[in-house]
């Protein structure tokens, strides 16, 4: 099994590579996910269903030199994907990576993203409070699977009939099997990832680095996402004008699974536009993509970044305390309820 080893500190990170080609795509999964979550995108971008791992791509001798080529997809046209399991981190890595090493980025795609901090708060309503309570009390794969389904997908999608069953029935069995085989994520691990999300913050300087580096950006979001709010993604798209293009799809937080064909097409359009050196203004102002999904024309933001930055800093300090209180309240309440259940049996 392939691991990226850090000999200095003993840390190992699991990864997979799929497909062959000159175009390299790094898939970074978000909160509480694993590399397997990218299955529909790996298959859609590379056509591969099995990982490369240690295998070598087929070789062909041309002009006396040995060149690595795929049998069906040549190096110049194919796509190689790498996905990995995050270690103790949450969901906002891609933006930071793009700001830290913009010269190594050809294009950037962000799926159901937030800006971190207070933007990590989902929309607070009765549905969300119910899901949060059930999530904290979930002790079995069956209980966790029920909560995950309602969090990841729209009700409309789950209620669709597939043969004699609904998607909910099929996905429920898949989720229970996956959670049972890998084990329930520990509270310690989840809280660590949640804290990473909360402390994430993209500064105005970092956003300006992304905006001015010349590569194109696609922000893809499900309109019915109850975890990462759509308005935050729209604001990020505005801040990254003129290089960003906002794509809204009918779907929830796991829109990459609910609408895989549309997501994959949006990703392929980004790759093709980057290869063809499309100008940012042309990219961000296209009215509609070939997939028929909604592509919003975003107006450039007003020049008030300094004022907004100061206000954001104050809000982060205030909401930081609220965030910790919120987690403590739910954690303590959940523990008290569980203790009561144990004592009563």
> What element of type H or E holds 149?
helix 141-152
Share of the chain above pLDDT 90, in %: 43
Cα 86 from chain centre: 12
The per-residue pLDDT for 312 is 46
Spatial CA neighbour of 88 closest among 173, 197, 225: 197
The per-residue pLDDT for 7 is 63
User: How far, in Å, CA of 120 to CA of 74, rounded?
Assistant: 42
The per-residue pLDDT for 202 is 87
The per-residue pLDDT for 89 is 57
Q: Which residues of the chain have pLDDT under 70?
A: 1, 6-7, 53-76, 88-90, 185, 285-345
User: How far, in Å, CA of 335 to CA of 169, rounded?
Assistant: 30
Other beta carbons within 10 Å of 259: 22
The DSSP line for 211-241 is HHS--EEEEEEETT-SSS-HHHHHHHHHHTT
The per-residue pLDDT for 1 is 62
Cis? peptide before 332, omega within 30° of 0: no
Q: What is the pLDDT of residues 224-268, one digit of tens each?
A: 998 888 999 999 999 999 999 999 999 999 999 999 999 999 999
Q: Can you say whether the dihedral through the CA atoms of 102, 103, 104, 110 is positive or negative?
A: positive
Label residue 332 exposed, middle or buried (CB < 10 Å: 0-12, 13-18, 19+): exposed
Angle formed by the axes of helices 126-137 and 141-152, to 10°?
150
> What element of type H or E holds 12?
strand 11-18
User: How far, in Å, CA of 196 to CA of 92, rounded?
Assistant: 9
Residue labelled with tokens 């119910």: 130
Label residue 160 exposed, middle or buried (CB < 10 Å: 0-12, 13-18, 19+): exposed
Average pLDDT in the chain? 77
The DSSP line for 61-106 is EETTEEEE--SSS-TTT-EEEEEE--SS--S-HHHHHHHH-GGG-S
Show Cβ contacts of residue 64 under 8 Å, excluding neighbours closer than 6 positions. none
Show Cβ contacts of residue 308 under 8 Å, excluding neighbours closer than 6 positions. 204
């Amino acid at each position: 099994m392939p691991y990226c080893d850090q000999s200095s500190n003993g840390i190992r990170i699991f990864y997979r590579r799929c497909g062959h080609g000159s175009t390299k795509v790094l898939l970074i999964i978000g909160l509480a996910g694993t590399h397997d979550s990218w299955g529909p995108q790996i298959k859609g971008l590379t056509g591969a269903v099995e990982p490369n791992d240690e295998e070598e791509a087929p070789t062909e001798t041309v002009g006396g030199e040995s060149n690595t080529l795929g049998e069906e997809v040549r190096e110049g046209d194919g796509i190689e994907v790498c996905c990995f399991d995050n270690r103790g981190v949450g969901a906002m890595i891609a933006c930071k990576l793009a700001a830290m090493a913009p010269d190594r980025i050809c294009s950037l795609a962000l799926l159901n993203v937030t800006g971190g901090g207070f933007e990590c708060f989902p929309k607070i309503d009765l549905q969300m409070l119910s899901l949060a309570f059930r999530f904290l009390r979930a002790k079995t794969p069956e209980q966790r699977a029920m909560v995950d389904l309602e969090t990841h997908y729209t009700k409309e999608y789950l209620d669709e009939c597939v043969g004699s069953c609904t998607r909910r029935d099929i996905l429920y069995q898949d989720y229970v099997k996956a959670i049972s085989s890998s084990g329930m994520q520990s509270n310690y691990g989840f809280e660590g990832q949640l804290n990473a999300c909360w402390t994430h913050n993209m500064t105005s300087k970092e956003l300006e680095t992304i905006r001015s580096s010349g590569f194109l950006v696609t922000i893809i979001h499900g309109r019915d996402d109850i975890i990462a709010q759509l308005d935050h993604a729209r604001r990020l798209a505005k801040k990254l004008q003129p290089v960003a293009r906002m794509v809204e799809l009918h779907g929830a937080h796991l829109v990459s699974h609910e609408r895989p064909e549309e997501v994959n097409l949006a990703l392929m359009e980004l790759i093709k536009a980057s290869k063809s050196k499309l100008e940012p203004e042309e990219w961000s102002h296209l009215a509609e993509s070939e997939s028929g999904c909604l592509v919003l024309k975003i107006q450039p933001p007003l020049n008030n970044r300094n004022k907004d930055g100061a206000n954001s800093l104050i809000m982060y300090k205030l909401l930081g305390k609220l965030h910790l209180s919120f987690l403590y309240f739910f954690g303590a309440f959940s523990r008290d309820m569980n203790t009561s259940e144990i004592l009563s049996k």
